[in-house]
Structure 1
Amino acid sequence: MRKYETIFILSPLFDEETVKANIEKFKGVIENGGGTVDNVDFWGKRKLAYEIKKVGEGFYTLFSFTAGPELPKELDRVFRITDGVIRHIIVIEQV
């Protein structure tokens, strides 16, 4: 088991309930895949450093989680197929 961090940006067109539903969806992917979510840090709506597909802001969320080596691949796949995810990244947490 390794420690990972992921940050993702959701569309600013989403309402609060949709954002919370997506956060729970991604937490579920981690927990159902045998991992544990250590920390969820919701940053709220922030301005992007540069526009992505004519979008200038989004809802930022940071997860810290512990999982096996296969789970980040599945989480990446789910991020890619979920509508409204503007950007995401998954990294191994340095100790």
Structure 2
Amino acid sequence: MRNYETIFILHPSFDEEAVTAAVEKFKGVIETEGGIIDNVDLWGKRRLAYEIDKVNEGIYVLVNFQAEAELPKELDRIFRITDGILRHIIVKLDK
């Protein structure tokens, strides 16, 4: 198992219920693929460094998890096809 962290930015029009549903969806993907979630940190709405699709703000979510090497590829695929995700990144953490 390797340590990873992912940060994803949700569209600012999401209400609290939609944000919770999106976070639970990605937690579920990690857990069903055999990963272990260490920490989920909801940073809330913040200003973006640059405009994305005429949007200046986004809702940031940080997730730390442990998983095998195949899981980040599947998680990346799901991020790409999910509506409302402005940006995402998955990083392997050093030991």
What TM-score do the two structures reach when normalised by structure 1? 0.98
* Partner Cα separation in structure 2 for residue 27 and residue 68 of structure 1: 15
Q: Return 5+ residue gaps in structure 2 as ranges.
A: none
Runs of 4+ in 1 over 4 A off after TM superposition: none
**CA RMSD in angstroms, aligned pairs only:** 0.5
* Partner Cα separation in structure 1 for residue 10 and residue 37 of structure 2: 19
* Partner Cα separation in structure 2 for residue 94 and residue 41 of structure 1: 20
* Partner Cα separation in structure 2 for residue 58 and residue 39 of structure 1: 20
Aligned-residue offset at 1:94: 1.6
Aligned-residue offset at 1:48: 0.3
Share of identical aligned residues, percent? 69
* Partner Cα separation in structure 2 for residue 36 and residue 73 of structure 1: 16
Q: Return 5+ residue gaps in structure 1 as ranges.
A: none
Q: How does 1:6-85 map to 2 (within 5 A)?
A: 6-85=6-85
